Amino acid sequence: MAEPRTVSTVGIVGAGTIGSSWAVYFLARGLKVRCWDPLDGYAENVSAFVARAWPLMEELGLADGASLDNLYCYDRIGEALDGVDFVQENGPEDAAIKANLMAEIDRDIAPDVVISSSSTALPVSEFQHKAAHPERIVLGHPFNPPHLMPVVEVGGGKQTESWAIDKAMAFYTEIGKTPIRLRAEIPGHLVNRLQAALYREAVHLVAEGYATVDDIDKAITGGPGLRWAVMGPHMTFHLGGGDGGIVRYLEILGPSQERRWEALGDPKLTDAVKQKIIDGIDVEARGRSIGQLAEERDVGLMKLLKLFHAPDK
């Protein structure tokens, strides 16, 4: 391979909620952003999203050269991808659509440009096969919303070469993300599988009437969620073992963990269960709109990010 390409311009393919969120983050890191989406009028939606989120990015701190003037939206995908150094694809979660989209992106960019997919659950192997250069297609799955959440899951498919994953890892690290390199393909990747495991039990508890939707959410935000913001489950249980650490924890409380695993539920999203969840959300939301709730979420995330990134005194 030639010398690694310095990324100064990113192509956004698919500029819905995730694509727009990526766009504002890339802009805040001083990059030029060239967008394309097949939806009529998408440019206005992207611009509005970026404008709303920009004050948050200013509060977190902008990189040198960061400017809203670096956002460009195009009517044709080829125009949007002209001269880009990295592509972030955010198309529908459909393998056939993504495969066709990857082939189209692949035709419009230089062979050494990495194509990174925000695929939520689809393995890369399911949509890289139609591209002429499948070796440079990688997973770059963010946690929502990408402009605030640090984690990005990075991995490859059966035809992906290691250099492409290395370049994606380096790029995300350079712009301040926390990339996690996945060692194998599995549906749902890593973060969403962990989230799904917790949500399965949350749904089971609602379905069986053990607690309300509101109380289950409070149990997480006021309990393990607070600890997980500081350290993950393995390290948390390492501390739970006292002076003996994880060795002591597994020795003393391992059997208890196994009993709890055996008691976990396997709920089904029947109409009745879905209605319980919907009714519970109505109570917990207390009349707040989706926009208001998203704003509350982002304000809370901002406080945490500022706390964790504050300079040591």
Question: Is residue 251's pLDDT more than 50?
Answer: yes
pLDDT at 306: 87
Question: Is residue 164's pLDDT more than 50?
Answer: yes
Which among 171, 76, 39 has a CA at the least distance from the CA of 116? 171
H-run or E-run covering 25? helix 17-28
pLDDT in tens, 4-35: 568 999 999 999 999 999 999 999 999 999 99
pLDDT at 4: 57
Which among 286, 162, 139 has a CA at the least distance from the CA of 217? 286
pLDDT at 2: 43
pLDDT at 307: 86
Task: Work out the pLDDT band at 311, boundaries 50, 70, 90.
Answer: low
Return d(Cα 189, Cα 195) in angstroms, integer. Answer: 11
pLDDT at 313: 39
* Average of per-residue pLDDT values in the chain: 94
Q: Which range (11-25, 167-181, 289-303) has the least confidence?
A: 289-303
CA R_g for the chain = 21
Task: Work out the pLDDT band at 179, boundaries 50, 70, 90.
Answer: very high
What's the CA dihedral at 55, 56, 61, 64 to 10 degrees? Answer: -50
Return d(Cα 219, Cα 211) in angstroms, integer. Answer: 10
Question: Which is higher by pLDDT, 138 or 305?
Answer: 138
Task: Say how far residue 217 (Cα) sits from the centre of its chain.
Answer: 21
Residue located via tokens 């379905």: 207
Give helix then strand counts, H and E, for the chain.
Answer: 12, 8
pLDDT in tens, 41-89: 999 999 999 999 999 999 999 999 999 999 999 999 999 999 999 999 9
Please tell me whether residue 275 adopts helix, strand or coil conformation.
Answer: helix
CA separation (Å) from 84 to 9, 11, 271? Answer: 5, 6, 46
∠ CA(125), CA(108), CA(71), 5° rounding?
Answer: 100
pLDDT in tens, 196-244: 999 999 999 999 999 999 999 999 999 999 999 999 999 999 999 999 9
Cβ contacts of residue 105 below 8 Å, gap of 6+? 11, 13, 77, 81, 87, 89, 115, 131
Domains of the chain, by residue range, sit at 9-181, 191-308
∠ CA(217), CA(220), CA(226), 5° rounding?
Answer: 135
pLDDT in tens, 150-159: 999 999 999 9
Mean pLDDT, range 261-289, rounded to an integer? 96
Question: What percentage of the chain reaches a pLDDT higher than 90?
Answer: 93
Question: What percentage of the chain reaches a pLDDT higher than 70?
Answer: 97
Q: Which CATH superfamily is domain 191-308 in?
A: N-(1-d-carboxylethyl)-l-norvaline Dehydrogenase; domain 2 (1.10.1040.10)
Task: Say how far residue 139 (Cα) sits from the centre of its chain.
Answer: 11
Which among 163, 231, 189 has a CA at the least distance from the CA of 3? 163
* Residue 80: how many other CB atoms lie within 10 Å: 23
Backbone angles phi, psi at 297, to 5 degrees: -60, -50
* Residue 94: how many other CB atoms lie within 10 Å: 13
Question: Is residue 309's pLDDT more than 90?
Answer: no
Which structure tokens are listed for 42? 């998408």
Task: Work out the pLDDT band at 310, boundaries 50, 70, 90.
Answer: low
Return d(Cα 131, Cα 98) in angstroms, integer. Answer: 10
pLDDT at 5: 63
CA separation (Å) from 74 to 16, 32, 39, 118, 286? Answer: 14, 14, 11, 20, 40
Q: What is the DSSP letter of 111?
A: T
Question: Is residue 296's pLDDT more than 50?
Answer: yes
CATH fit for domain 9-181, picks 2.60.40.420, 3.40.50.300, 3.40.640.10, 3.40.50.720: 3.40.50.720
Return d(Cα 304, Cα 251) in angstroms, integer. Answer: 34
* Residue 167: how many other CB atoms lie within 10 Å: 23
**Structure pTM?**
0.91
